[in-house]
A = this chain, B = another copy of it.
Amino acid sequence: MATQRILDFLATRRPEGPCLVVDLEVVRDNYQAFRKALPNSRIFYAVKANPAPEILRLLASLGSCFDTASVAEIEMALDAGATADRISYGNTIKKERDIARAYDLGVRLFAVDCVEEVEKIARAAPGSQVFCRVLTDGAGAEWPLSRKFGCVPEMAVDVLRRAHHLGLDAYGVSFHVGSQQTDLSAWDRALADARSVFVKLAAEGINLRMVNMGGGFPTRYLTDVPTAQAYGEAIFDALSKHFGNHMPETIIEPGRGMVGNAGVIKSEVVLISRKSENDEARWVYLDIGKFGGLAETMDEAIRYPLVTPRDGDEVGPCIIAGPTCDSADVLYEKNMYPLPVSLTIGDEVLIEGTGAYTTTYASVAFNGFEPLKAYVI
């Protein structure tokens, strides 16, 4: 997945230390693929996946909207050329003063999942559109969501009714099927729940108009994933099934699916060793780990493809760890990686599919190591 442009950049520039290189042409292709797969949905790029200004500017120029998690992300989207009407404040957890700041910046679209949040928005962003997030079970996702966001569908009815009565625009329902979701039927189950909220509120004269289908679109790591086209078809079928010819407006919020496969991290083998003479497995220590940007290896959830200069040689099992003095900074131990037995200290290792959720996860200065550098080309 390292494009020729990325390989050329690394070969020419030889950046020192670990770094992420993102190829904007891949981001452009991904955007067009979503556009084509779901032509009737508005695309809100999840800024948190990778807020590099070059990525935001490209997507703004292509017509993308932006899903933001904080006032800082709203400002980044505005700086990149998006107008406020293309920005959603999609975090269900907001300080009231941050809602007021977003409102001052022109944002009029907010996520909620409880009455308490609706009340803040009614005070700090009067008249705005709100959508209520509904809990889904997340089955089939590699990085399943906890119950942190959303409420049960029955409660969403109360939340949106309350919004309506406080003078807000009860705009719709959102859900998130879980990140890196490869089970296409997950959208079908969630859309059935969304539909139930529409029906109950319509009976009270409150007419929702929008379904925000969130993110969860996967990027390819070690195994193949369905194409954007396959997702588009499954989602269109489910929408038709549940909403018939009263099709709502729809929104999608791809993050990982937009930038994950556009980035590659270049790292270096710092040490290869064994713990005792008769250990079969080697420990391979890289110059990047869990605290340097690879936080999503938590519980070995995401298995990134690794490319070494010795690929093709005989392989043996390896535990992969980061460079810090923290014993939790182990990337893969339960499920070891087969790596070439010829792998040597100083070799360059490419970690593919790392365009999303890496740079901003990196810690400020843990163990004195710099945050992950990034180049967007």
- Beta-carbon contact of A270 and B95 below 8 Å: yes
Q: In chain B, what residue has the closest Cβ to A117? A: B271
| A141–B91 CA distance with the chains assembled, in angstroms | 37
| A residues at B contact (CB < 8 Å) | 46-48, 51, 68-73, 76, 90-96, 113-117, 120, 135, 143-152, 154-155, 158, 268, 270-277, 283, 285, 287, 291, 295, 298, 321, 323-330, 333, 345-346, 359-371
Evaluate contact between B273 and A116: CB separation under 8 angstroms.
yes
Known A-B contacts: A96-B345, A96-B346. Give 7 more (CB < 8 A).
Answer: A48-B324, A69-B367, A72-B365, A91-B324, A120-B345, A360-B364, A360-B366
A285 and B285 alpha carbons, distance in the complex (Å): 36
List, in ascending order, chain B residues with CB within 8 A of A46's CB: 325
Query: Complex Cα distance A269/B362, Å?
Result: 25
Minimum Cβ distance to chain B for residue A103 (Å): 17
A-B contact list, 23 entries, CB within 8 Å: A51-B368, A72-B368, A72-B369, A72-B370, A94-B271, A95-B270, A116-B271, A116-B273, A116-B345, A117-B273, A135-B275, A143-B328, A147-B275, A149-B325, A149-B327, A151-B273, A154-B276, A155-B277, A295-B363, A298-B298, A360-B366, A361-B366, A363-B364
A72 neighbours in B (Cβ, 8 Å): 365, 368-370
> In the assembled complex, which residues on chain B have CB atoms less than 8 Å from the CB atom of A146?
327-328, 330, 333
Residues of B within 8 A of A276 (CB): 151-152, 154-155
Contacts of A346 in B (CB 8 A): 96
Provide the residues of chain B in CB contact with A73, threshold 8 Å. Answer: 367-368
Q: Which residue of B lies closest to A255 (CB)?
A: B325
If the complex has contacts A114-B273, A275-B135, A276-B152, are A369 and B325 also in contact, measured as CB distance less than 8 A?
Answer: no
CB < 8 Å: which of B95, B326, B362 contacts A363? B362
Contact of A70 among B285, B345, B363, B369 (CB under 8 A): B369
Given A368-B47, A368-B76, A113–B273 Cβ distance below 8 Å?
yes
The chain B residue with its CB closest to the CB of A371 is B364
List residues of chain B with CB within 8 A of the CB of A361.
Answer: 291, 363, 366
Please provide the 9 A-B residue pairs with the shortest distance between their CB atoms, ordered closest to farther: A72-B368, A114-B273, A70-B368, A73-B368, A69-B367, A145-B327, A152-B276, A69-B325, A93-B285
For the complex, what is the distance from the CA of A47 to the CA of B345, rounded to whole Å?
27
Q: How far is the CA of A154 from the CA of B287 in the complex (A)?
A: 28
- Contact residues in B for A365 (Cβ distance below 8 Å): 51, 72, 360
Chain B residues contacting A326 (CB-CB under 8 Å) are 48
- Say whether A275 contacts B360, CB under 8 Å: no
Q: In the complex, what distance in Å separates the CA atom of A367 from the CA atom of B71?
A: 9
A95 engages B155 (CB within 8 Å): no
Contact B277 A154 (CB under 8 A): yes
Residue in B95, B148, B152, B275 whose beta carbon sits within 8 Å of that of A330 in the complex: B148
Q: Which residue of B lies closest to A287 (CB)?
A: B95
Cβ distance A18 to chain B, nearest Cβ, rounded Å = 11
Quick check: B270 and A367 within 8 Å, CB to CB?
A: no
Partner among B147, B275, B295, B333 whose Cβ is within 8 Å of the Cβ of A150 = B275
CA–CA, A276 to B114, complex, Å?
A: 9
Q: Nearest Cβ distance between residue A293 and chain B, in whole angstroms?
A: 9
In the bound complex, residues from chain B placing their C-beta under 8 Å from that of A360 are 363-367
Complex: how many Å from CA A1 to CA B346? Answer: 46
